[in-house]
Amino acid sequence: MEAIETRARHARTDKVISDIVDNGIALQDRLSTVCALEYLKSHSIDADVIQRVLLFPARRRLVLAALMHKN
């Protein structure tokens, strides 16, 4: 039972992080990379993730595709 609760907690956390990253990408599109960077930093998103999603848009899709094939 504890394992199920742990997975659910991680799934919620992953969803929250995913939403924050999506919002950061939208900010980059609408405003600027600097605005997106500050937004993501303010939400404690890992620097490697910020760099990947803001500077290498093509790699976003590769990561997403890899995750989809994993499941």
d(CA 71, CA 58): 21
pTM: 0.69
Tens of pLDDT along 58-68?
877 555 555 55
The token pair at 14 is 């992953």
Segment 48-56 mean pLDDT: 93
Over residues 9-36, the pLDDT tens digits come to 545 678 889 899 999 999 999 999 999 9
The pLDDT, as a whole number, for residue 38 is 98
Report CA 49 to chain centroid distance, whole Å: 7
